[in-house]
Amino acid sequence: MIEKIGTNAGKVWTLLDEAGSQNVKDLKKSSKLTDKDLYAALGWLAREGKITLVEKEKELVVSLV
């Protein structure tokens, strides 16, 4: 399971690197990950200090640090 989360975190990081900041809804759509897998990947990246999460207009926006 940890390997899958790490792989998904890499996928999310790459998408953010290419497209810039995205809200969670758009990131889910572009990554094609399930809610569970996306949030696990975001947790991994947040724990490593690689992303920031900010709430804007009632939406969670994710960006690289």
Query: For the chain, how many structural domains are there in total?
Result: 1
Residue 56: C-alpha distances to residues 2, 36, 41, 46 (Å)? 30, 22, 21, 18
Q: What percent of the chain has pLDDT over 90?
A: 100
Overall pTM > 0.75: yes
Domain at 35, CATH number: 1.10.10.10
pLDDT grade, residue 60 (50/70/90)? very high
- pLDDT of 54 reads 96
- 8 in Cβ contact with 37 (< 8 Å): yes
What's the CA gap between 15 and 31, in Å, rounded?
7
Distance (Å, rounded) from C-alpha 52 to C-alpha 57?
16
Tell me the three state secondary structure of residue 44: helix
Alpha-carbon span 64 to 51, nearest angstrom: 4
Q: Which domain holds residue 17?
A: 2-64
